[in-house]
Structure 1
């Protein structure tokens, strides 16, 4: 099924407005976000008013109805500012909305799409203390409620983005003891976070990305009604999660690309201002090499983003391409911020300058929504499967 998205002319106006908002409002507020480890309430309210929490929700349900290509460009634009700004709405418009779109019943869409578009914050509960990419080790369980048609959930989820702020979580849980057929033991549940038995741990202290928060979610005999089961069918949760992660990986790739551009622009400015041996260090060829290598890699990631998001909009299966884009863009961002620290020299190691923050913030991109190593295995698996199918 193809995605049309917002009218192209209106979307270009929206992106122009967003670019100005990022540079004139969000970037000047970064010091406040970092100092207080939170986005100011008034900025969150502004982002909701701009419709950022419902970018991919269909228009008839109160959202902007963006295509994947438009969504990726929006994420890239937002990611030019501190990562916390993207993080606060990314689960809504990425993984949670994708799961509702791909697997939700009509009733679930009618209930949750307007709430998400209005700015209710969602989280996505897949990772656990003992399992992440290894779904067979999932310990969270959902058993039928003996007193009705609902379910009782027990378990712990770890590293859950936006858990301290979320009003709803999409929780993956084991509904069968055995994992046969593969991953059919995992189902997905829409769980309001104020449901009795749901508790959230203190936000974890992290290496970077100040203002974005992750925490554990504990589920202790959490009773949910039968219509909380995504799609109304057990055994489909992992499929929905993986489809959602394709969207999440495009989002992380786009964020990596936008943040790499921010870091490179900073280095370019610094290299023209900083003088050594009587001239700007931008005149030195080895500095120019680092600038050029960074520009080349960012351009490659931008091209990958354009291609993979267009494929999604055409209705193609993009598991391999989304993984490849996320791997390349996140690793690229890591290389760019490393070069930026090097260009800054000694100043790059000081918290007083942006380069040190860019370096810490970028490190997580190579880990979440599938580590580079897990995604490399996935890419190779699909390559080998396609090769075998060709005979």
Structure 2
């Protein structure tokens, strides 16, 4: 098993690190504190082509391999997790359009999405339906050549900046099981009745907005039905979430890496009783635990990403990576805060931000309890073997 990066991947990582170190880390704390949207950083992401990392080359994208895809999120989250979120939802939607859309839908949206001229996200979650997507209440009723959408979506990243939003709806609410009556519509956000109602306050994950959206008699052409066939929305969403878990695993590794770096640097600089606190065994044990879990999370994450590059389904592997890496991020950020002592609780130090950002990774793209059931099913059906 070879876990090393190719020369091209190492060069790509180096370019990402330069961006993060020079243009993101120096401003992250202040911009988050003031609620400033990272317009300049978004422009740099656009210039680097990062809005097209899941878009095929024939539509103007980079079509990155899954290892490089995961690298993007690790490096960006190491600097500011909210920045990774801006790209995450966008590229997940692009992947779904590229994978499941009609040729007309791909031609209409992918070139502009890949260039960053247009932006997107994904409208799945509702006030009463997060993990249980089959419980959504948003409906789309066929009316001649149109669908009329009624409902509410919540926790929608990029909502205020999206030009098109894939929205999960029930086109046949009476069908059982419910997933057979679910579809995805590509909704132009300028359509009358589409309203971003409010930004939701959050513990962490700042820099990008998370909004509630109201769809009040939103009329869209039938041609916006993703793939052109009703009843496939649940499968389309779940296939996207599979690679989305690599995104979350990568972000988790980035947060854990940033936590480790901060803890190690601080332990070398901070003195107590006449010597650096890194000389004390209690601190050394914490550093050893963080570093070991971090490296294990990184190896598991890129193992899953490499398998995805083989074309195989990676429900179990991506679930394992997301589960383990996100728990590692939570532990690493907490231990880094403890190593900082009282300063770890200060907004002048980055570790308090890592501590606030990390918990979302155990929730996003499926809670970790759900991940454990996904992993178990993959073990039972034999799609993942251990040993």
User: Shared fold (TM-score greater than 0.5)?
Assistant: yes
Single out whichever of 374-383 and 188-197 deviates more from structure 2. Answer: 374-383
Q: What is the aligned partner in structure 2 of residue 19 from structure 1? A: 17
SS of match in other structure, 1:223: strand
- Among 202, 208, 212, the residue aligned to 1:212: 208
Residue 382 of structure 1, CA deviation: 3.2
Single out whichever of 102-111 and 152-161 deviates more from structure 2. Answer: 102-111
Give runs of aligned pairs for residues 300-319 of structure 1, distance below 5 A.
300-319=296-315
Q: What is the aligned partner in structure 1 of residue 73 from structure 2? A: 75
8 Å CA contact 1:263–1:358 kept in 2: the answer is yes
- Among 267, 274, 281, the residue aligned to 1:285: 281
The answer to whether residue 214 in structure 2 is matched with residue 225 in structure 1 is no
The answer to whether residue 239 in structure 2 is matched with residue 243 in structure 1 is yes
Structure 1's consecutive aligned runs of 4 or more residues displaced over 6 angstroms after TM superposition are none
Residue 179 of structure 1, CA deviation: 4.3
8 Å CA contact 1:164–1:203 kept in 2: the answer is no
The answer to whether residue 103 in structure 2 is matched with residue 106 in structure 1 is yes
8 Å CA contact 2:252–2:361 kept in 1: the answer is yes
8 Å CA contact 1:37–1:212 kept in 2: the answer is no
Residue 306 of structure 1, CA deviation: 1.4
CA separation in 2, counterparts of 1:238 and 1:363?
26
SS of match in other structure, 1:365: helix
- Equivalenced residues, count: 378
Q: What is the aligned partner in structure 2 of residue 321 from structure 1? A: 317
8 Å CA contact 1:36–1:211 kept in 2: the answer is no
Single out whichever of 194-203 and 27-36 deviates more from structure 2. Answer: 27-36
1:52-80 residue CA offsets vs partner (Å, 9 max, x unmatched): 11112112211112111111112111111
Q: Considering only aligned residues, what root-mean-square deviation do their CA atoms show, in Å?
A: 1.6
- Among 189, 194, 201, the residue aligned to 2:190: 194
CA separation in 1, counterparts of 2:150 and 2:47?
36
Q: What is the aligned partner in structure 2 of residue 85 from structure 1? A: 83
Residue 234 of structure 1, CA deviation: 0.6
Single out whichever of 120-129 and 347-356 deviates more from structure 2. Answer: 347-356
Unaligned runs of 5+ in 1: 1-6
Single out whichever of 252-261 and 177-186 deviates more from structure 2. Answer: 177-186
CA separation in 1, counterparts of 2:159 and 2:136?
19
1:244-279 residue CA offsets vs partner (Å, 9 max, x unmatched): 001111101100101110111001000001111111
CA separation in 1, counterparts of 2:88 and 2:360?
15
Q: What is the aligned partner in structure 2 of residue 117 from structure 1? A: 114
Single out whichever of 254-263 and 14-23 deviates more from structure 2. Answer: 14-23
1:150-202 residue CA offsets vs partner (Å, 9 max, x unmatched): 21111000111111221111100011123434511110111111111100022
8 Å CA contact 2:90–2:122 kept in 1: the answer is no
CA separation in 2, counterparts of 1:355 and 1:282?
17
- Among 21, 37, 40, the residue aligned to 2:38: 40
Unaligned runs of 5+ in 2: none
The answer to whether residue 29 in structure 2 is matched with residue 31 in structure 1 is yes
